[in-house]
Structure 1
Amino acid sequence: MSAWLIALEGTDAGRHLALVLALAAAFLHAVFGALQKGRHDPWLSRGAIDLSYGLMAAPFALFVVPWPAPHMWPIFAGAFLIHAVYKMLQAWAYTRGAYTVVYPVVRGSSPFFAVIGAGLIFGETFTATQWGGVALLMGGIFGLAVYNLRHLTVARDTLPAALGIAVVTGAFVALYTSYDAYGIRAAADPFTFLAWFFMIDGILMPAIAALRWRGMVTRPAFAPLAARGLIGGLIAFGSFGSIMVATRLDKVGEAAVLRETSTVFAALIGWLVLKETVGPRRIALMSLIALGAVVVEMGG
């Protein structure tokens, strides 16, 4: 399969596959975010998820895929640090604000930074139509932020902080997207990068979650948390793995922007599953973010 993926790089078939993978990543990441934000403490949920995908990836990294070349070890170290900061910011944001408040701002602000990063790192350029799509996307983001600040009554005292953390988290999403794209392109075998990335990335958060769990007065039941971790780990392979492969097959900026159609899925999940109040205006603003992502993709 590695040879097949490598052969698709730079071809029309590769671009079409990257489109499908980016859309799959959008849906799966919205589900992933809901799992982390759900009824468990976000730090515990993320720890359980990371432990699951780290353990599942280990046999493939150690015994199945080719071992990384020496130049890959510093790249893995950089990825570990960037994702560590991102995940701590994400968990912090979820403890401060509702899922339908935090998630759209995180995912919606990241494409703006990702487009800039793709230009600086990979020399990618956007057309005028694509920049118009970015403007639509950013308009939806800022409109959503203003609406939340004016109208939400839940957790009003922490809402401004949640939005600020969400924007910073979005910048780190763009950073890890660009960095991971660089990493998977630097690897001779894309599945070597994926397997070792997931194994290494699964080290930190379980340790933090264990310390947090031990310090709780009322500890959650282990079995439901473990089940959430297992499901989240499988979804993580599909979500993060899909977008990483997409950035190897096609432009990083376009794949990163298209993934943010996840905001629409997030609105539906927040409303139907988490029972959060969404409302038509917030759905319209989230849809504007998604529309901007679509214009970016179609205008290339």
Structure 2
Amino acid sequence: MTLFVIAIILTAAVLHAVWNAIVKTAADRTTTLGLVALGHVIPATVMIVLLPLPSAESFTYILISTVVHFGYYFMLGKAYQHGDLSVVYPIARGIVPALVSLWAMLLVGEVLPLQAWVGIALIAVGIQLSSWKALRSGVGRWALGFALGTGFCISIYSVVDGIGVRLSGNTLSYWAWGAFLHLFIAGFVGIRRRKSLAELPAKVWVIGILGGLVSMTAYGLVLYAKNFAPLGAVSALRETSVIFAALIGFVFLKEGNWMRRLGAAVLMAFGVALIGLAV
């Protein structure tokens, strides 16, 4: 994997951490997730008008990804109802790299070398270490179930989009249509929260939609990288967003233990290096 591709994925990880920090600090996370989805739809509407259509066969993957993303938002919202972000998030993201690598091996024949698997394992351990204190306090049955469901959904849409974007013939078009179909997610949340939307301060609307723009940009970078690198490796590097989120929490939100989080960052850095050298 080239340094350029690694830099793209790590940039996406930082952006992903930023929009998750936005959701974390929101008073109503469900409404904020809906606004994040709307933040995908607005620029995507312009893009689908200007760009050519992706290949017909890739639309199947776009639709599957949209359905799975709906499940992801549902699972994530339920997980946050039953558990804290600091508990739910590392569980959900920590299982993703191994699952994506497994699905990619079974579905598209991408077999990672042992060194890459060691790197994935280090990143997974780093994710858990970053929130170790919260995890030690215990995880409720429902929180654990929905967190695992969230991670499962992430792994499925990661592989589906990895296959779809390679078939699309145009990464930008695939990205735009996938983002545009977040319309259904934004619409669902809008219907559920219709009574409170009119009372939302303008600041909340702006922050939520900006979070969506950041999220969309992050996923576009990941989609681009999936054209050039194994899906499991891309997923593992993307999940370093957890440690970036933890560092944002420490620096700006005054959360957590800096030594533990620094140790997690070092583990992840070794993991990134091993993956980069292996593939």
Name the TM-score, length of structure 2 as normaliser.
0.88
CA contact (8 A) 2:162 2:226 kept: yes
For 1:90 and 1:278, the matched residues in 2 are separated by 25
For 2:265 and 2:82, the matched residues in 1 are separated by 20
For 2:6 and 2:146, the matched residues in 1 are separated by 29
Q: Residue in 2 aligned with 1:30?
A: 17
Q: Do structure 1's residue 171 and structure 2's residue 152 form an aligned pair?
A: yes
For 2:191 and 2:256, the matched residues in 1 are separated by 32
Give the aligned residue type for 1:103: Y
CA contact (8 A) 1:263 1:289 kept: no
Q: 1:233 to 1:139 in 2, by over 3 A?
A: closer
1:195 to partner: Cα distance: 1.0
Q: 1:103 to 1:274 in 2, by over 3 A?
A: farther
Residues 9-88 of structure 1 aligned to structure 2 (within 5 Å): 15-61=2-48, 63-88=49-74
For 2:209 and 2:127, the matched residues in 1 are separated by 32
Q: Do structure 1's residue 114 and structure 2's residue 100 form an aligned pair?
A: yes
Q: For the aligned residues, what is the CA RMSD?
A: 2.6
- 1:90-134 per-position Cα deviation (integer Å, ceiling 9, x unaligned): 222233333333322222221010111121222112222222223
Q: Secondary structure at the match of 2:11?
A: helix
For 1:198 and 1:260, the matched residues in 2 are separated by 20
Q: 1:240 aligns with which of 208, 219, 227?
A: 219
Name the stretch that deviates more: 138-147 or 183-192: 138-147
Q: Secondary structure at the match of 2:56?
A: coil
Q: Residue in 1 aligned with 2:163?
A: 182
Q: 2:183 aligns with which of 202, 221, 225?
A: 202
Residues 96-175 of structure 1 aligned to structure 2 (within 5 Å): 96-141=82-127, 147-150=133-136, 152=137, 159=140, 161-175=142-156
For 2:80 and 2:249, the matched residues in 1 are separated by 13
- 1:9-30 per-position Cα deviation (integer Å, ceiling 9, x unaligned): xxx7xx4432121111110111
1:275 to partner: Cα distance: 3.9
Give the aligned residue type for 1:137: I
Q: 1:229 aligns with which of 194, 197, 208?
A: 208
Gaps of 5+ in 2: none
Q: Secondary structure at the match of 2:123?
A: helix
CA contact (8 A) 1:110 1:173 kept: yes
Name the stretch that deviates more: 234-243 or 141-150: 141-150
Q: Secondary structure at the match of 1:297?
A: helix
Q: 1:86 to 1:293 in 2, by over 3 A?
A: farther
Q: 1:17 to 1:283 in 2, by over 3 A?
A: closer
Q: Secondary structure at the match of 2:226?
A: helix
Q: 1:58 to 1:266 in 2, by over 3 A?
A: same
Q: Secondary structure at the match of 2:95?
A: helix
For 1:220 and 1:37, the matched residues in 2 are separated by 21
CA contact (8 A) 2:127 2:240 kept: no
Give the aligned residue type for 1:32: W
For 1:138 and 1:21, the matched residues in 2 are separated by 20
Q: What count of residue pairs does the alignment treat as equivalent?
A: 279
For 2:83 and 2:257, the matched residues in 1 are separated by 14
Q: 1:246 to 1:167 in 2, by over 3 A?
A: same
Q: 1:89 to 1:64 in 2, by over 3 A?
A: same
Q: 1:100 to 1:48 in 2, by over 3 A?
A: same
